[in-house]
Amino acid sequence: MSQMSGLELMQAFCDGQLKGATIGATMGMRPVEVAAGRAVFEATPDERHLNPMGGVHGGFACTVLDSVTGCAVHTMLEAGIGYGTIDLAVKMLRPLKTGQTYRAEGRVLNMSSRLGVSEGSITDAEGKLVAHATCTCMILRS
């Protein structure tokens, strides 16, 4: 895996050639489409993701958005180069519901040698925006 570019690695996860990160199973999310500067996941919250009031915890959307924005940045990296989120700003616009599958899309806005800036959105089956985020990732070069 260390010989694969970020895009090649993300494509292998998406195609099922490699087992994805365990956070995907925890969060009920999986990559469905990747391209240079772009990552699309599907995510379905369930009873594991509820807050004390019985609604889907806001951390669910935050985690999904952190994943797609980071993975979008990852698609732009050479083999052996890592990244880490240093800032994530999330706006929750509508509540998420258990048992419904949402589309999460991350897009790179700008890449430099040290930072990747991306944005992400979660939409429902009708295409309504549920949550939006902006993200800054530090590029980790040896």
Instruction: Give the three-class secondary structure for 133.
Output: strand
Q: CB–CB of 139/76 below 8 Å? A: no
Q: Both tokens of residue 85?
A: 């989120």
Mean pLDDT of 48-73: 97
Q: What is the pLDDT of residues 16-38, one digit of tens each?
A: 999 989 999 999 999 999 999 99
Q: What is the mean pLDDT of the chain?
A: 96
Amino acid at 103: R
Answer yes or no: is pLDDT of 142 > 80.
Answer: no
Distance of CA 6 to the CA centre of its chain: 14
Q: What is the pLDDT of residue 137?
A: 98
The pTM is what?
0.96
Instruction: Say if CB 118 and CB 107 are below 8 A apart.
Output: yes
| Among 59, 60, 76, CA closest to 117 | 76
85 phi and psi angles, rounded to 5 deg:
-70, 130
